[in-house]
Chain A
Amino acid sequence: MDDQTVRTICYLSRLKLDDEKSKKILSDLDTIIEMIDSLSSTNTENISPLYNPLEETARKFNDKIKSDNNKELFLESAPESDENFFLVPKVVD
Chain B
Amino acid sequence: MQFKTIKEINAGLVSKKFSAEELIKYTFDLINENKDLNCFISLDEENALAKAKKIKVKKDSHLLSGIPIAQKDLFCAKGIKTTCGSKMLENFYPPYNSKVVEALDAAGSICVGKTNMDEFAMGSSNETSFFGNVHNPWKKGFVPGGSSGGAACSVAAGLVPAATGTDTGGSIRQPAALCGLTGIKPTYGRISRWGMIAFASSLDQAGPVCRTAEDCSILLDAMSGYDSRDTTSLNLDPTNTFADLSKPYENLRIGIVDEFNIDALSKESQTLFNESLKVFESLGASIHKISLPNINQSVPTYYVIAPAECSSNLSRYDGVKFGHRSLEAEDLESLYINSRSEGFGDEVKRRILIGTYVLSAGYYDAYYKKAQQVRRLIKNDYEKAFKEVDLIVSPTSPSEAFEFGSKGTQDPTELYLEDLYTISSNLAGLPALSMPHGFVNGLPVGIQLTGNYLEESMILNFANRFQQSTDFHNAKPTFEDFQ
Contacts and interface: CB of A to CB of B under 8 A. Distances in A.
B335 A33 contact: no
Contact of B350 (A25, A54, A76, A86): A25
Interface in B378-436: 379, 411-413, 416, 426-430
Contacts of B370: 39-40, 42, 44
Interface range for A: 35 or more
Contacts of B349: 13, 15, 17, 25
A70 B231 CA distance: 22
A58 B95 contact: no
A73 B95 contact: yes
A15 B353 contact: yes
Given A36-B358, A59-B231, A14 B375 contact: no
A24 B356 CA distance: 18
A40 B371 CA distance: 9
Nearest to B371: A39
A71 B440 CA distance: 55
Interface in A57-82: 57-61, 70, 73-74, 76-80
Contacts of A5: 357
Contact of A57 (B234, B373, B428): B234
B427 A53 contact: yes
B352 A78 contact: no
Contact of B376 (A8, A16, A49, A89): A49
Given A21-B346, A73-B95, A89-B335, A12 B356 contact: yes
Interface stretch (B146-154, B271-279, B295-303): B295-303
Contact of A50 (B300, B330, B336, B372): B372
Contact of A32 (B319, B376, B377, B412): B412
A5 B369 CA distance: 20
A9 B232 CA distance: 30
Nearest to B302: A36
**In the complex, which of the residues A76, A79, A88 has the most CB atoms of chain B within 10 Å of its own CB atom?**
A79
Contact of B366 (A28, A40, A76, A88): A40
B304 A58 contact: no
Contact of B95 (A37, A53, A74, A89): A74
A28 B360 CA distance: 19
Contacts of B3: none
Contact of B332 (A18, A78, A89): A89
Interface string B283-316: 0000000000010010111011000000100010
A76 B92 CA distance: 10
Interface in A1-55: 1, 5, 8-10, 12-18, 21, 25, 28-29, 31-33, 35-40, 42, 44, 47-54
Given A21-B346, A36-B303, A77 B354 contact: no
A49 B353 CA distance: 22
A38 B374 CA distance: 11
A76 B93 CA distance: 9
B40 interface: no
A47 to B, nearest CB: 4
Given A28-B412, A44-B370, A88 B320 contact: yes
A51 B202 contact: yes
B15 interface: no
Contacts of A13: 311, 340, 349, 352-353, 356
B232 A54 contact: yes
A57 B374 contact: no
B372 A16 contact: no
A51 B305 CA distance: 9
Contacts of B322: 77-79
A38 B416 CA distance: 15
B138 interface: no
**In the complex, which of the residues A10, A47, A53, A89 has the most CB atoms of chain B within 10 Å of its own CB atom?**
A53
B439 to A, nearest CB: 31
Contacts of B232: 52, 54, 57-58
Nearest to B303: A36
Nearest to A48: B376
Nearest to B369: A49
B35 interface: no
Interface in B68-116: 92-95
Contacts of B187: 54
B135 interface: no
Contacts of B377: 42, 44, 47
Given A17-B349, A31-B412, A54-B234, 10 more contacts: A15-B352, A36-B358, A36-B367, A39-B297, A49-B376, A53-B430, A61-B231, A77-B321, A88-B335, A89-B334
14 contacts: A13-B352, A15-B349, A35-B300, A39-B304, A39-B374, A44-B377, A47-B373, A49-B376, A53-B203, A53-B426, A58-B231, A58-B232, A76-B95, A77-B95
- Across chains A and B, which 6 residue pairs bring their CB atoms closest together, nearest first? A53-B429, A49-B372, A79-B325, A44-B373, A50-B376, A77-B322
